[in-house]
């Protein structure tokens, strides 16, 4: 799938199957994730896009009976994220996640961002201060919270909470950020702020985003994958997918021709 003009790979799914017990949720997914690009996953509810996204930080390990087959290669070190020898905690240090609904910890703004660093054993106040500030700046929320870092995070507005969650994910310097419908609970202004942020973030981190909002996929992503019934139907440059998709199923979905 990689051609001469393709950017570098950050990750790559190879013949990836996923099972919830007996039920196969993902079928033979092959797909590149390009470095420092935004890749959008679109598809109707139940198509497996969130399942796929969550596989990247081994979230399915939390439930017994879930089973991975195949590989998700992670570069530049070429490790298989799904390998039982790879520690999921290590994976989650390198792969951050932001959820649909903002989920700050019931702690202060500062502690929300410092949390991941403390888990890693970082307790030096000067280092923490610096990393917390950088993460908050990276998530474009520093100016709004710098004078109230000791306030409780749940008191922030929804859009601010979501950016705080992004800051929390950024604090450990992840290489890949997973977004699972990050703006579906936000108003258009807060959504715009997150989209703008995604655009800024891709200068330093690779992003994989699940979205139900087709225009959002068209606006923020460089590549788009259309999934249906657990299969990856079409992967391509976002412009091509939205102007001239190759597969009729993709066409039907993005033009709103499916029930």
Residues near other proteins (CB under 8 A) are: 214-215, 218, 242-245, 248, 250-252, 254-259
Name the residue nearer to other proteins (CB basis): 187 or 240: 240
CB of 42 to other proteins, least distance (A): 11
Residue 97 has phi, psi (to 5 degrees) of -140, 140
- Which CB, 204 or 248, lies closer to other proteins? 248
Q: How far is the CB of 41 from other proteins (least distance, A)?
A: 16
Nearest-angstrom CA–CA distance, 6 and 75: 15
Closest separation between CB of residue 61 and other proteins, Å? 37
**Which residue in this structure is represented by tokens 């950020």?**
177
Distance CA 246, CA 235 (A): 10
CB nearer to other proteins: give 24 or 213: 213
Distance CA 22, CA 1 (A): 30
CA dist., res. 127 & res. 122, Å (int): 8
Q: Where are the beta strands (DSSP E) in the chain?
A: 9-20, 23-34, 38-42, 66-74, 79-80, 95-98, 176-180, 206-210, 223-228, 231-237
CB of 238 to other proteins, least distance (A): 11
Judged by beta carbon, residue 34 or residue 253, the one nearer other proteins is 253
Q: How far is the CB of 199 from other proteins (least distance, A)?
A: 19
Which residue, 188 or 256, is less far from other proteins as judged by CB? 256
Tokens of 154: 């749940």
- The radius of gyration of the chain from alpha carbons, rounded to an integer in Å, stands at 18
Q: Which is nearer to other proteins, 231 or 247 (CB)?
A: 247
Q: How far is the CB of 236 from other proteins (least distance, A)?
A: 12
């Amino acid at each position: 799938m990689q051609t001469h003009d393709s950017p570098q790979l950050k990750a790559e799914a190879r013949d990836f199957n996923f099972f919830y017990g007996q039920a196969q949720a993902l079928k033979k997914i092959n797909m590149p994730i390009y470095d420092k690009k935004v890749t959008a996953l679109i598809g109707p509810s139940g198509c497996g896009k969130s399942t796929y996204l969550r596989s990247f930080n081994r979230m399915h390990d939390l439930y017994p009976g879930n089973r991975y087959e195949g590989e998700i290669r992670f570069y530049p070190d070429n490790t298989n994220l799904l390998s039982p020898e790879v520690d999921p905690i290590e994976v989650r240090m390198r792969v951050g996640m932001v959820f649909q609904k903002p989920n700050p910890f019931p702690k202060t703004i500062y502690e929300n961002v410092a949390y991941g660093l403390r888990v890693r054993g970082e307790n030096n106040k000067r280092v923490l201060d610096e990393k917390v500030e950088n993460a908050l700046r990276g998530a474009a929320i520093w100016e709004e919270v710098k004078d109230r870092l000791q306030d409780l995070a749940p008191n922030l507005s929804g859009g601010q909470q979501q950016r705080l969650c992004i800051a929390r994910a950024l604090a450990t310097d992840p290489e890949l950020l997973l977004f699972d419908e990050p703006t579906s609970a936000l108003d258009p202004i807060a959504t715009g702020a997150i989209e703008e942020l995604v655009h800024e973030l891709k200068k330093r981190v690779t992003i994989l985003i699940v979205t139900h909002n087709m225009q959002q996929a068209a606006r923020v992503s460089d590549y788009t994958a259309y999934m249906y019934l657990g299969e990856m139907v079409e992967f391509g440059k976002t412009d091509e997918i939205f102007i001239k998709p190759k597969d009729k199923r993709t066409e039907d979905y993005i033009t709103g021709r499916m029930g």
